[in-house]
Structure 1
Amino acid sequence: MGNLDGRVCLVTGAGGGIGRSISLKLASQGANLVLTDINEEQLNDTVQQCCELGVSASGYRIDLTDSTALEYVVEQTKSQFQKIDVLANVAGIMETRSFLEIKADEWNRMFAINVTTTFQLIQLVAKEMIEQGNGGSIINLSSTAGRLHRPMAAHYAASKAAVISLTRSAAVALAPSNIRVNALCPGIIDTPMIQQVRESRSELLDISQDDIQKHWERIIPMGRLASPDEVADLAAFLASDAARYITGEAIGINGGTDAS
């Protein structure tokens, strides 16, 4: 079927946007899937679409800030498939807030969801991969924001910078066990989350959503937003043996934004 035949992949944030696209891409390559999301309806839709591609897929509605829930979904993955080959930490949040208006609880929530859950799942899954003895691939969703200034979302940018640092540390720590750890750093991706950002910035800055869209397109050298599928293509590559010597990298998918 594809490059991931028989692999078992655990994907968080699979209910929509980038998470759904990654799940479907992995399924199209033959991977069996365990998927999580906070939105049960959207999660079930992704599970159904993956099953229609001829693989086994199951979904768990969980709150990723609940450590017990994280342990449970890892245990269920092992129970169902007896192994975990790939972890894709995709779940996350973003919000627009001027720098001086960010509250401590907003900062803490951003880091709890975007960083702490990523760290905890890396630990849990890496322990299973080490016990299995066959290595594995861990893919973390960071952002171009983690490498650039974001004065309208400093807490988000800081959390994504932390994901890059965490990725590099985990990659070195786990390399002797042949576990690869890499980060995806998308730019502006055409997802429901970005639509919410467009709406909130329009209100905050008192400019039209159309003007925000045009500004985004101007600052991207390739002149357009990326699709979630373009992020998913890179995730599938990193999950496969074709990327067997790639670890500790934070790879941009941003149409040249970093270079400009």
Structure 2
Amino acid sequence: MNSLSGKTIFLTGSGGVLGTTYVRRMLDAGAKVVASELKGARYDGLHDTFGKNENFALYEMDVSDEDAVTETFNRFLGDGHKPNVFFNNASITGEMLMKDGAEFPDFANTTLASWNKTLDVNLTGPFLVAREIDRQIIGKWDLKLINIASMYALRAPHHDIYDGMPFKNFSAYQATKAGVHGITLWLASYWRKKATVNTLAPGAVFNGHSEEFQKRVSSLIMQDRMAQPDEIADVALFLSSNAANHMTGQFINVDGGYNAW
């Protein structure tokens, strides 16, 4: 296990299956975690699970809201937190945009509103967080930024594995995750003497998927299975640690070999 003793980690979108795993593993590795999440069930779950840990702090933040990002930075810095690792983890998927019981649209019926909402969260959000780092923190202490993309960021999906499934591969999701790595490359160069910036690209992570979907997606993965959340967290901890000090501008797939085929 990579020790994160002495690290303070700021993490957006902390309440999902990967976010909560990152928080748990970071705390276990000795880090202080400053988490953010939208107000609601995920926020409440984080509070209930980690709220009594003295090394955990939780803030409400909408990453797509410019004023909210600035205000949250002002709050946690004012509270004395000095993160030296930042995770742009907040993300929205196509299925998260669908109301309960609604049919997932095909490409022709994708609404501009759903496209724009995905860009707001998945692409504008990381920009706003990075810009606030640049305004308030960069150059004051060494730091790392890890942007979370996807195994689909740089490779086309196999649309047929979604046939008959209640969800599809959403065009805006792929476009934004490719854009996330563009932000990584730009910032890695811009902050080259002040920070490291890398992209972590999780593969297909099991989260209650049907046996049929597991079978379909696993056939495209060299290891013939979906990832467990802790397997993604293993690499997140490495990138947060001093062991990754000489890595910047990199795209790191954790996908069981999906992108190697």
Q: How does 1:63-78 map to 2 (within 5 A)?
A: 63-78=62-77
Counterpart secondary structure, 1:105: helix
Contact kept in structure 2, 1:38 and 1:63, CA below 8 Å: yes
* Sequence identity percentage: 26
- Other-structure match for 1:228: 229
Q: Does 1:252 align with 2:259?
A: no
- Call closer, same or farther: CA 1:47–1:235 in 2, change over 3 Å: farther
Aligned pair partner of 2:180 in 163, 167, 178: 163
- Other-structure match for 1:100: 108
Aligned-residue offset at 1:42 = 2.8
- Other-structure match for 2:136: 128
- Whole-angstrom distance in 2 between the partners of 1:48 and 1:233: 24
- Other-structure match for 1:29: 29
Contact kept in structure 2, 1:167 and 1:183, CA below 8 Å: yes
- Whole-angstrom distance in 1 between the partners of 2:139 and 2:17: 33
Aligned pair partner of 1:186 in 199, 202, 208: 202
Structure 2 unaligned residues grouped into runs of 5+: 96-104, 160-168
Q: Which amino acid aligns with 2:72?
A: V
Q: Mean Cα displacement is larger for which, 65-74 or 96-105?
A: 96-105
- Whole-angstrom distance in 2 between the partners of 1:254 and 1:99: 26
Contact kept in structure 2, 1:44 and 1:59, CA below 8 Å: no
Aligned pair partner of 1:140 in 124, 141, 147: 147
- Whole-angstrom distance in 2 between the partners of 1:87 and 1:2: 17
- Whole-angstrom distance in 2 between the partners of 1:120 and 1:105: 20
- Whole-angstrom distance in 2 between the partners of 1:182 and 1:136: 12
Q: What is the CA RMSD across the aligned residues, in angstroms?
A: 2.0
- Other-structure match for 1:172: 189
User: Higher helix share goes to which structure?
Assistant: 1
- Other-structure match for 1:204: none
Contact kept in structure 1, 2:12 and 2:87, CA below 8 Å: yes
Contact kept in structure 1, 2:223 and 2:256, CA below 8 Å: yes
Contact kept in structure 2, 1:21 and 1:229, CA below 8 Å: yes
Contact kept in structure 2, 1:16 and 1:43, CA below 8 Å: no
Aligned-residue offset at 1:37 = 1.2
Q: Mean Cα displacement is larger for which, 241-250 or 59-68?
A: 59-68
Counterpart secondary structure, 1:115: helix
TM-score under structure 1 length normalisation:
0.86
Counterpart secondary structure, 1:145: coil
Q: Does 1:240 align with 2:241?
A: yes
TM-score under structure 2 length normalisation:
0.85
Aligned-residue offset at 1:47 = 4.3
Contact kept in structure 2, 1:88 and 1:138, CA below 8 Å: yes
- Whole-angstrom distance in 1 between the partners of 2:241 and 2:217: 32
Aligned-residue offset at 1:74 = 1.1
- Other-structure match for 2:118: 110
Aligned-residue offset at 1:82 = 4.5
Aligned-residue offset at 1:155 = 1.2
- Whole-angstrom distance in 1 between the partners of 2:30 and 2:51: 11
Q: How many residues align?
A: 242
Aligned-residue offset at 1:131 = 4.2
Contact kept in structure 2, 1:38 and 1:62, CA below 8 Å: yes
Aligned-residue offset at 1:48 = 4.9
